[in-house]
Amino acid sequence: MNIDLNENHEELRRRVREITAKYPDEYWQDLDENRKYPSEFVDELSRSGLLSVLIPKEYGGEGRSLTEATVVMEEIQANGCNGGVCHAQMYIMGTLLKHGNEEQKQRFLPKIASGELRLQVFGVTEKHTGSDTTKLRTFAKKVDGGYLVNGHKFYIGRGQYSDLMLLLARTTPIDEVEKKVDGLSTFLVDMRKEKGKSLDIRPIRTMMNHSLTEIYINDLFIPDENLVGELGRGFRYILDGMNAERLLIASECVGDAKWFINRSVEWANQRELFERPIGQNQGIQFPIARAYASMLAAEMMVKKGCAVFEAGGNCGEEANTSLLLASEASWEAANVAMQTYGGRGFDANFAIERKFRETRLYQVAPISKNLILAYLSEHVLGLPRSY
């Protein structure tokens, strides 16, 4: 395992900045107020190849490393944009790349890489089961030529704006399997022809504009050729991708923290009260400096986690710790920015309050901090299982 502390991937960062510069605070504020999806932003990222950096070159992608993918997501956030509107394509990709067959890869990956298809929906979460994924109720019944699916997915991002969904459904009742993780399968669903028919997609208004939905699935037919991997092993495939997911989202949190810190420093130097810049006061300086230190620690853990992942090791400890530290660093930096800006922190014209709401999400999703702590307690420290 090797971590190159001198490699900043400036070429990738420059490509991201060339795009994010076209989408300033005002663009995101308008979307936030009107609850719109940033289609122009997502389409431009797709056309640039930045959303397909993990797709191998033979399928039209750039064939880059997870480290480079985290650089892309971090830089999007550090420039005030919202990668949460499209980040799922990065981490969903792993299931198809690792467990999909060659026909599936040839059928879907080139079109995803070109931006012709959006793979933005990860159909796992359900209202009644939450993080207890093995208890999900969506069921895929075997029929001639495929599967007939019925169920309900909840808090599903980008349901109205994606062409494809990676769906996790139970294919064997839980009381008929030896282990509760068995009997779950993954499918690729082409949503385009099913929206308004077997897929009833309804928006859910939340405190941040992440285009969350609930999806009612009624007699959805999925052909046999869209089963990803082996029948009944889908839960394991989903777990395979979770370490990459946590590192990618941790990098977004690092980017958020950098944005908040930069805005705080700019305002502290610019704003004058009592005939001096407020940044001259230790009460302003020290919280910003502490947030900066927290961000650096989280950034280093993300780099380590990616290095372990790329070396083929088990990066569960690093991935979970990265998300824990990075989400806390971004939230700390968000609170510091609010205090630094004072009343203007609540003013939508300054963008602090929008990013404040957006970064709060990562204290809860994609996984609760308590579950991260439970994982570290049991699997790293050797303490008894607590749940």
Residue 71: in which H helix or E strand, if any? helix 66-78
Identify the CATH assignment for 119-232 out of 1.10.1060.10, 3.30.10.20, 3.30.200.20, 2.40.110.10: 2.40.110.10
| pLDDT value of residue 296 | 98
| pLDDT value of residue 87 | 87
What CATH code would you report for 10-114? Answer: 1.10.540.10
Query: Are the CB atoms for 133 and 177 separated by under 8 Å?
Result: no
Q: What are the C-alpha distances in Å from 271 to residues 15, 275, 276, 350?
A: 32, 10, 8, 14
pTM, rounded to two decimals:
0.94
178 Cβ neighbours under 8 A, 6+ residues apart: none
Decide if 10-114 and 119-232 have a common fold: no
What distance separates the 2 farthest-apart alpha carbons in the chain? 79
| pLDDT value of residue 92 | 86
Positions of the chain with pLDDT under 70: 1, 5-6
| pLDDT value of residue 127 | 92
| pLDDT value of residue 89 | 86
| pLDDT value of residue 7 | 78
What CATH code would you report for 236-380? Answer: 1.20.140.10
| pLDDT value of residue 3 | 74
Query: Are the CB atoms for 153 and 137 separated by under 8 Å?
Result: no
Query: Are the CB atoms for 122 and 155 separated by under 8 Å?
Result: no
Task: Give the domain ranges of the chain.
Answer: 10-114, 119-232, 236-380
| pLDDT value of residue 239 | 85
| pLDDT value of residue 130 | 85
